[in-house]
Structure 1
Amino acid sequence: MKRVPVSSSNLSSVGYDESTQVLEIEFNGGRVYQYFNVPQRIHQELMSASSHGKYFHRNIKDNYSYDQVK
């Protein structure tokens, strides 16, 4: 999945597949996680948030199932 770099103290890059609703996040330590059944609106809000890390912790982290892929 293609990810876009983001300016964040926690997140390095973010990708999203609209057809499968999979959100992929690379953290600054190099770990990559995929979050499942994430609506497109959540991805859009994450990308436009003033703090990507805060948005992630408040709205994604404990709300969607995930797998570590790297």
Structure 2
Amino acid sequence: MTWHDFAPFTSSNIAAVRYDEDHLLLEVEFLNNTRYHYYEVPPQIALAFDQAGSKGTFLASTIKGHYRYSRV
């Protein structure tokens, strides 16, 4: 896999985000050390997430409930 790490950011809930465009796979790591994979996330959505001012708001409104996911 070829991961692209998101630019550094500050969040009260999210520790890190990275994206693999070849597999359309988005990984979100939370501050409580849990990680989730979101599947079939288009590149334009990942880019918008990377550029979002609030990662938590974007995750809640645009990712959760819209893409399949699993805890890893």
The alignment's TM-score, normalised by the length of structure 2, stands at 0.87
1:33 to 28, 32, 36: 36
Residue 64 (structure 2) aligns with? 61
Matched residue SS, 1:26:
strand
Over aligned residue pairs, what C-alpha RMSD do you find? Answer: 1.4
Shift of 1:10: 1.4
| TM-score normalised according to structure 1 size | 0.89
Task: Give 1:1-70 correspondences, 5 Å limit.
Answer: 1=3, 3-4=5-6, 5-69=8-72
Of all paired residues, the percent bearing the same amino acid is 36
Number of residue pairs the alignment of both structures matches: 69
Which consecutive residues of structure 1, in runs of 5 or more, have no partner in the other structure?
A: none
